[in-house]
Amino acid sequence: MHPLIAFYSGTGTDHRGRTLSGILAFSNTELESCHDYIQWLFPLREPSPYNPEAPVVTDEVTAAFRESHAMQEKMHHACLRMLQFYGIVLRETPQGFELLLPADVDSLHWMTADNHNHRRICRMLASMKVFGLDAHVAALWQGLQKLALAYPDKISSATVTHWRLAALGHESPL
């Protein structure tokens, strides 16, 4: 069984022996300071330059995710946990999903120019797009556009371009 399928099925661990549920239970401090879990939560087809031990998505993995409601639901929970870490809420509506942004954006730790979390968000968008979580991607992208327009000093145009390409399905090895 592919390591990503095992990891998301709950029968496997990442390269450091951590389970999906264990990573999702990380404190915000752990999520911020640890840099080798995001490639497991939101895998891509391209190898990660930051975590070469993380497996890459294959056609087998893509098919398994797209066919498994349980695995998509686990990625949904991974998305919710990361957005909670970012101080953002993804709310389900009859039309799909809606991103709720906080009133005080200055309190968001990642809202600084060239913050490494911008790359993590790019990875999230690209990975969810690969696995068919299009409603998540659309809601996140819409909210990120609003943030970028309102705070151009905190989110660069290059970051917005990377986010847009990821939301459109153009993967990036970030």
pLDDT tens string 101-155: 777 777 788 888 889 999 999 999 999 999 999 999 999 999 999 889 888 899 9
| Residue 126 belongs to some domain of the structure | yes
| Residue 38 belongs to some domain of the structure | yes
| Residue 66 belongs to some domain of the structure | yes
| Residue 173 belongs to some domain of the structure | no
| Residue 28 belongs to some domain of the structure | yes
Range of the domain at 150: 3-167
| Residue 152 belongs to some domain of the structure | yes
44, 65 in Cβ contact below 8 A?
Answer: no
| Residue 44 belongs to some domain of the structure | yes
How many domains does the structure of the chain reveal?
1
In this structure, the strands spanning 89-93 and 96-100 are: antiparallel
Cα–Cα distance for residue pair 142/61, rounded to 1 Å? 27
pLDDT band for position 172 (cuts 50, 70, 90): low
- Tell me the backbone φ, ψ of residue 92, rounded to 5 degrees: -80, 135
What does pTM read for this prediction? 0.92
14-20 contacts at long range (C-beta below 8 A, 24 or more positions apart): 14/40, 14/54, 15/40, 15/51, 15/53, 15/54, 20/74, 20/78
| Residue 174 belongs to some domain of the structure | no
